[in-house]
């Protein structure tokens, strides 16, 4: 069965609105969660690493005030795209990891975000 649940799978909204994406670890307590972004025909780019109970670590070039990450529990992390614009339209994928360091990442099915 699925290890990771990501919701919603697809969202369309108007420019200027904020959108929240949820990532749930179903099988284990995920100490670490990762958020990736994937533009069409391109690879996954890591946006941020989230550890439960602490602030997320953002990759260079990713605006932390634009992409708010909350990892309030060991089974749930949320990504909020604030004041979304058409250029934020992309495929967002989360992954979960049991523990830290060299542990396997389990990926969600992704969220297709379309900003009109």
Partner 1 sequence: KQEVTQIPAALSVPEGENLVLNCSFTDSAIYNLQWFRQDPGKGLTSLLLIQSSQREQTSGRLNASLDKSSGRSTLYIAASQPGDSATYLCAVEETSGSRLTFGEGTQLTVNP
Can you give the binding site for partner 1, defined by CB under 8 A? 4, 6, 32, 34, 41-46, 49, 91, 93, 95, 97, 100-105, 107-110, 112
Residue 86 per-residue DSSP state:
G
Q: Which is nearer to partner 1, 82 or 112 (CB)?
A: 112
Pairing mode, strands 10-13 and 111-115: parallel
Q: Which is nearer to partner 1, 18 or 27 (CB)?
A: 27
- Tokens 């919603």 belong to which residue? 8
- Distance between alpha carbon 3 and the CA centroid of its chain, in Å? 15
CB of 84 to partner 1, least distance (A): 19
Tell me if 14 sits within 8 A of 115, measured CB to CB.
Answer: yes
Q: Which is nearer to partner 1, 81 or 108 (CB)?
A: 108
| CA distance from start to end of the chain | 34
Q: Which is nearer to partner 1, 4 or 81 (CB)?
A: 4
Instruction: Report how far residue 69's alpha carbon sits from residue 71's, in angstroms, rounded to the nearest whole number.
Output: 7
CB of 100 to partner 1, least distance (A): 7
CB of 14 to partner 1, least distance (A): 22
CB of 110 to partner 1, least distance (A): 5
């Amino acid at each position: 069965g699925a290890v990771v649940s990501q919701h919603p799978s697809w969202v369309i909204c108007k420019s200027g609105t904020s959108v929240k994406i949820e990532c749930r670890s179903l099988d284990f307590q995920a100490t670490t969660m990762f958020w990736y972004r994937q533009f069409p025909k391109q690879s996954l780019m890591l946006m941020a690493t989230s550890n439960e109970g602490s602030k997320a670590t953002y990759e260079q070039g990713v605006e932390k005030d634009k992409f708010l990450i909350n990892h309030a529990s060991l089974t749930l992390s949320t990504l909020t795209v604030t004041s979304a614009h058409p250029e934020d339209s992309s495929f967002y994928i989360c992954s979960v990891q049991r523990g830290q360091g060299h542990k396997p990442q389990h990926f969600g099915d992704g969220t297709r975000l379309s900003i009109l």
